[in-house]
């Protein structure tokens, strides 16, 4: 149950269409559903405004499909599944309509054709090798109701590629900067714009990049103001945060 369902239920009680007792029963059964292998949090949308997101890594295809079915049975739409293998996508496709991005390993079950698309989130990548993480961020932000612009392969090795898109960067409400190697892209963008920049270090790079640790440390030590950092390869976390910033009330 999300906040809109709860509000509709309360208004139905106000109009006399639902008894208080029936409403109480619905609210009592709403918090979570125990599937044995997972406790599906049906109150997440009510508490946070965004329903539970399924982390696919480590789960079997059947478990992921079962969780999707549980959320669907409560009227869930735009069900995000991250770190989702192709085999899991095939299993979910048997129980629900699914939009699946193989490169980003992210799926959207029961996609909502009427989802909002507001504001401006930019997802920028240092190189083509970072696109998998970018897609996880971009699709997450899109499903959460943000208008997303992708700027791929605009890293510091060819800075003119980024500077050619200054108009896009400067009109954004939040920017996700995704880069491996030395992770310099976030600092460069942070010095150009007046909106929050969410830096995502990736595990792309040669040996001394240490699986993304070098980029992580570089981003954490950024001298540009307004740069925050999420974990290595965490496109989902960056897309989620960017969408929250983008959709904050009072931002025009």
pLDDT in single tens digits along all 252 residues of the chain = 555 567 777 888 889 988 888 887 766 666 777 678 887 877 777 677 777 899 999 999 999 999 999 888 887 889 999 999 999 999 999 999 999 999 999 999 999 988 889 999 999 999 999 999 999 999 999 999 999 999 999 999 999 999 999 999 999 999 999 999 999 999 999 999 999 999 999 999 999 999 999 999 999 999 999 999 999 999 999 999 999 999 986 554
Vertex 203: Cα angle to 200 and 206 (nearest 5): 130
- The boundaries of every CATH 3.40.50.1970 domain in the chain are 118-246
Token pair of 179 as six digits: 């880069």
If phi > 0 it is left, if psi is from -120 to 50 it is alpha, else beta; for residue 84 that is beta
- In this structure, is the dihedral angle defined by the CA atoms of residues 107, 111, 115 and 117, taken in order, positive or negative? positive
| pTM score | 0.85
Which class for 31: exposed (0-12), middle (13-18), buried (19 or more C-beta within 10 A)?
middle
Cβ atoms of 122 and 169 closer than 8 Å: yes
What CATH code would you report for 118-246? Answer: 3.40.50.1970
The answer to whether the CB of 80 falls within 8 A of the CB of 106 is yes
């Amino acid at each position: 149950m999300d906040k809109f369902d709860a509000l509709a239920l309360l208004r139905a009680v106000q109009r006399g269409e639902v008894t208080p007792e029936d409403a109480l029963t619905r609210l009592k059964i709403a918090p979570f559903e125990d599937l044995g292998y997972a406790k599906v949090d049906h109150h997440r949308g009510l508490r946070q405004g965004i329903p539970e997101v399924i982390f696919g890594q480590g789960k079997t295809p059947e478990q992921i499909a079962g969780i999707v079915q549980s959320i669907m049975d409560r009227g869930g739409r735009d069900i995000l599944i991250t770190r989702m293998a192709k085999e899991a996508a095939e299993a979910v496709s048997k129980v629900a309509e699914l939009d699946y991005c193989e490169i980003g390993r992210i799926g959207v079950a029961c996609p909502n054709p009427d989802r909002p698309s507001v504001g401006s989130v930019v997802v920028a990548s240092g190189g083509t090798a970072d696109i998998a993480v970018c897609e996880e961020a971009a699709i997450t932000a899109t499903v959460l109701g943000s208008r997303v612009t992708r700027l791929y392969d605009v890293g510091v090795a060819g800075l003119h590629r980024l500077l050619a898109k200054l108009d896009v960067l400067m009109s954004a409400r939040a920017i996700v900067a995704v880069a491996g190697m030395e992770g310099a892209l976030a600092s460069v963008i942070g010095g150009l714009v007046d909106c929050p920049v969410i830096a995502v270090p990736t595990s792309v790079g040669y040996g001394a990049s240490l699986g993304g640790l070098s980029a992580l440390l570089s981003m954490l030590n950024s001298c540009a103001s307004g740069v925050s950092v999420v974990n290595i390869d965490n496109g989902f976390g960056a897309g989620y945060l960017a969408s929250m910033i983008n959709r904050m009330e009072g931002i025009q």
